[in-house]
Amino acid sequence: MNKIWIIIKREYITRVRNKTFLLSTFLFPLLMFALIFGGAFIGANGTEQRKIAVNDQSGLYRNNFKDGSAVAFGYPDQVTKENYKDKGFEGVLIVYSANQQKADSVRLYTEKQLGLGTDEAIKNQIQKINENRLLMERGVTRNTLDSIKQLSESKEALNYRSYQIKGTEIKEDNKMLALAIGYASGFIIYIVLFIYGAAVMRGVMEEKMNRIAEVMVSSVKPFQLMLGKIIGIAAVGLTQLFLWIILIFILSSLSSLFISPEILDQAQKMNETMPSMAQNNTMALKILQAKTTVFSANWALIIPCFIFYFLFGYLFYASLFAAVGSVVNEDPQEAQSLMLPITLPIILGIFIMINAIQNPSGSLAVWGSIIPFTSPIVMMSRIPFGVPWWQLGISMISLIIGFLFTTWLSAKIYRTGILLYGKKVTLKEMAKWAFRKA
């Protein structure tokens, strides 16, 4: 036990003293912030407005299209599939006929493919125009139509709130916040699994290639060496997590200094007056809002769970990474292909997580959050939405059992692999080492 402690100390100190540790610790949160707000910023400015010519044989649509952020319409004379480009448009929309019985045939021709959003915007407008036409045909006047529209789109028209019932407690449901926390924590765990898993693998490869492994295993058991490395790197990870929490706290209190509630309010008002812009601003705004209501989240559950899944998710995969590192020879390419069976479930976890965010109590989400291969990522994305205690319990227990199992398995591969040089090891051989008796 004492020897594992000595190994842990070395692994921890050499890593924490390294400059890259400091660099990555401070750059990572900045990067995250840049990613979130940068993404929102690009989303706000990135869409290009397409100019579409309308050739309306029915005359019903003329001048009824509204220009939006995605499309602008024009009504040049005699526009056809052949000449729309000369008239300065990127596409032509031809309405062939419009009679009451049959649906209109509307065709859109473009050279460049339009985005899904543009397509959707055009379809929505046609639908709306049709709806209005049908209403007007049945005797609704233009004035009535306009006043209905104004009423339904105003802020007072809708007073909607969702609540979550837990026993006798009824709590306001903050989906946006839960989504943000779920996403962020799921992603962080995903990144952690890769970064620290790879660190374990590189550490083992280093020992093997420097040929110190043989010196080491003449002093300590291979299992002690492996476990010491894994725990040492886990301690580095926890240190980094701790620093991140402090850093994020500082950053967010700084950002609330710059973004005062008044500005937030202004942004809100701007959104109302300019509906076309609203879509783009929402994401960033929602996040800012989320921050102001951040205390409504169940942090007492989220933080301990995050630390648990952070740690045990890492421990579950770390020994597998160590096993891969131990069989690799000089060629890093080999590591790539042997890593695939480990990286696949992690990537699968991210996919299930994206699904789970949309549907946190669906069966895919539930299973994904119980099976240890994906549970650290998926469960973290579900917790902010509320998870039954029994599911959380099963998930945690199976992750711990899974960790003990992978470590036991990997230790056997590691023991053989670390002293084996010059031989390319296949997955089949690794499996044989792992399951043989001894």
Partner 1 sequence: MSTILEIKNLKKYFSSQKAVDDISFSIEQGSIFGLLGPNGAGKTTLIRMITGIFYPDAGSIQLNGKKFDPVTDVINIGYMPEERGLYKKMKVGEQAMYLAQLKGMPKQEAFAQVKLWFEKFEMQSWWNKKVEDLSKGMSQKLQFVTTVLHEPKLVILDEPFSGLDPVNSNLIKDEIYNLAQKGTTIIFSTHRMEQVEEICDHIVLVNKGHKILDGTVKEIKQQFKQHIFTAEVDQLPTALEHNSFSIVKREGNNLTLKINEGYKSNDVLMHFINQQSGIVAYHEILPSLNEIFIRLVEGTPAARQFEAITA
Report the first-to-last Cα separation within the chain, whole angstroms. 22
Q: Mind giving me the DSSP string for 8-24?
A: HHHHHHHHHTSHHHHHH
**And the tokens for 174?**
């903050």
Specify the amino acid at residue 414.
Answer: Y
- If one asks whether residue 202 binds partner 1 (CB under 8 A), the answer comes out as no
| Pairing of β 163-166 and β 169-172 | antiparallel
- Give buried/exposed letters for 349-377 (b at 16+ CB in 10 A, else e): bbebbeebbeebeeeebbebbbbbbbbbb
Dist CA 69 CA 354 (whole Å): 28
Q: For partner 1, which residue of 128, 221, 286, 291 counts as binding (CB under 8 A)? A: 221
Q: For partner 1, which residue of 106, 213, 227, 327 counts as binding (CB under 8 A)? A: 213
Segment interacting with partner 1 (CB under 8 A) among 6-14, 33-41, 155-163, 357-365: 6-14
Segment interacting with partner 1 (CB under 8 A) among 116-124, 211-219, 348-356, 365-373: 211-219
- If one asks whether residue 6 binds partner 1 (CB under 8 A), the answer comes out as yes
**What's the half-sphere exposure (Cβ side, CA atoms, 13 Å) at 285?**
18
Q: Cβ closer to partner 1: 14 or 154?
A: 14
Dist CA 204 CA 121 (whole Å): 55
Segment interacting with partner 1 (CB under 8 A) among 7-15, 35-43, 114-122, 279-287: 7-15
Q: Cβ closer to partner 1: 193 or 418?
A: 418
- If one asks whether residue 322 binds partner 1 (CB under 8 A), the answer comes out as no
Alpha-carbon Rg for the chain in angstroms: 29
Smallest separation (angstroms) from partner 1 to the CB of 68: 58
Smallest separation (angstroms) from partner 1 to the CB of 8: 12
- If one asks whether residue 215 binds partner 1 (CB under 8 A), the answer comes out as yes
- If one asks whether residue 274 binds partner 1 (CB under 8 A), the answer comes out as no
Per-residue binding string, partner 1, 416-435, x by CB under 8 A, is: ---x-x--------------
**Which region holds residue 274: left if phi is over 0, alpha if psi is between -120 and 50, else beta?**
beta
Q: Cβ closer to partner 1: 102 or 436?
A: 436
**What's the half-sphere exposure (Cβ side, CA atoms, 13 Å) at 172?**
8
Q: Residues interacting with partner 1, by CB under 8 A?
A: 3, 6-7, 10, 14, 206-207, 210-221, 419, 421, 438
